[in-house]
Amino acid sequence: MSLSPSTPPFRWLLLLCSVVVSLSSCRTAKSVVEAVEVKPSSFLTHAKDLKEDRNRSPFIGNWWSTDKTLLAAADRCRKIYVAPVVYQNVRPDKTIVAEVEHDAAWRTRHLPVMAEYMRTKFKEAFRKAKDPRYTVVDAPQADALTLQLSLLEWGPNTYTGVLSRQVVDFFTFNVGGEATMRNTRGYMAIEGRVVEPRTHQPFFEFADKEYAKVVLIISIQDFRRNGQAYFAVKEWAAQLEKLLHAKPGEKVSGSPPVVLFNY
């Protein structure tokens, strides 16, 4: 049976599509609609100074040096070294679903693999960028920036979370579980800084956190334990490459928290 414009499901679909479109063009989606916050660790030199800059960066927390000499020196660099990702500051996963499906020991065993995945994807983002600004080098060099990354939080996807959202969605036209049960979603937070080689001082520091996106139709990621983390890492890597490549005044936007599909 086809749906007419007067049927409730049809109206819901129109409303949800409108939400997707509006969020796609709104930088505040993550910080306001999702109410996401990230608390950086002592890994960052300027952790207390990080601020959101909606007109410039997709990350929740950002700090740029105001030292013109340092910025000029960093701007002259055309190489970048991605250091091994550290995870000593990763915080416990305190979600309810974590107690059901994975414990701290399981996550500890998998942290080195996730850290190596992060490093690989950030290197790929710079290597495969359209019109790349930087050449990726395999070791620190006197004329190469150093990107230092820290895995701050990681909550893998869980089947318990997927099933609980699906049960709620069944009674709420695919809205209730998807939109309200964020604590059952996978999530990840990272922090990082870009260091100028001669002074060994950072000229940019950032931190960001992502939950698995609200998917209106289908999400393959939800059924992979690392699906959300892999997707978020690839987005962060691409966004950082664009941000370091951006011209003065150029805005680098993030992705919307609500999508139709998520593969």
pLDDT for position 62: 98
pLDDT for position 9: 47
Count of beta carbons in the 10 Å neighbourhood of residue 128: 12
Asked if the model's pLDDT at residue 1 lies above 60, the reply is: no
> Could you tell me the pLDDT band of residue 188, with boundaries at 50, 70 and 90?
very high
pLDDT for position 243: 96
Q: Which tops the pLDDT comparison, 38 or 182?
A: 38
Mean pLDDT to the nearest integer, 141-155:
96
pLDDT for position 80: 98
Q: What is the pLDDT of residues 34-91, one digit of tens each?
A: 567 899 999 999 999 999 999 999 999 999 999 999 999 999 999 999 999 999 999 9
Asked if the model's pLDDT at residue 21 lies above 70, the reply is: no
Q: What is the pLDDT of residues 22-37, one digit of tens each?
A: 443 333 344 434 567 8
Mean pLDDT to the nearest integer, 86-114:
84
Residue among 114, 62, 86 at smallest CA distance from 232: 114
